[in-house]
Amino acid sequence: MADKPSVLFVCVHNAGRSQMAAAWLNHLAGDRIEVRSAGSAPVDAVNPAAVEAMREVGIDMSAETPKILTVDAVKASDVCITMGCGDTCPVFPGKRYLDWKLDDPAGQGVDAVRPIRDAIRKLVEGLIEEIDASRNQPAGTNG
């Protein structure tokens, strides 16, 4: 990994799950980890229920906009996490790929988005622990 590890969150519309995951990672890891999010078929705006659910926990995503998934974004990331977009993420050697199985918040109200938000937080917390642990290993060890 580079000096600062980078994570890319990918879902189809880049409007709900990947935006919430990016917001959580930014919030919990600060500037220790570079964060990107993108979608294979991004929509025009972030899901308002996701924005509201995150606002409830003190995180403002209202200024975020969905972005298209690019090969460059994948190349620039150490970890690529997909969320319901299957095989649309290009695969490059030396990258770590994870697929998080999460319900899609599209078309859902804030009551349905809250448990997805909370599940994403737990996954992001685990990811931060893994990244921190791998960065604290002595050179030449496998973990």
Q: Kindly state the average pLDDT of the residues 16-45.
A: 96
Query: Which pLDDT belongs to residue 94?
Result: 80
pLDDT tens profile 45-92: 999 999 999 999 999 999 999 999 999 999 999 999 999 766 666 677
Among 25, 81, 85, 120, which one carries the catalytic annotation? 85
Among 7, 11, 53, 120, which one carries the catalytic annotation? 11
Among 81, 89, 123, 131, which one carries the catalytic annotation? 89
Query: Which pLDDT belongs to residue 38?
Result: 95
Query: Which pLDDT belongs to residue 3?
Result: 82
What is the fold, at CATH topology level, of the domain defined by 6-134?
A: Rossmann fold (3.40.50)
Query: Which pLDDT belongs to residue 78?
Result: 94
Q: What is the 3-state secondary structure (H, E, C) of the chain?
A: CCCCCEEEEEECCCCCHHHHHHHHHHHHHHHHCEEEEEECCCCCCCCHHHHHHHHCCCCCCCCCCCCECCHHHHHCCCEEEECCCCCCCCCCCCCEEEECCCCCCCCCCHHHHHHHHHHHHHHHHHHHHHHHHHHCCCCCCCC
Annotated active-site residue 80? The verdict is no
Annotated active-site residue 11? The verdict is yes
Q: How far is CA 104 from CA 7, 33, 65, 67, 131, in A?
A: 20, 25, 18, 17, 26
Share of the chain above pLDDT 90, in %: 77
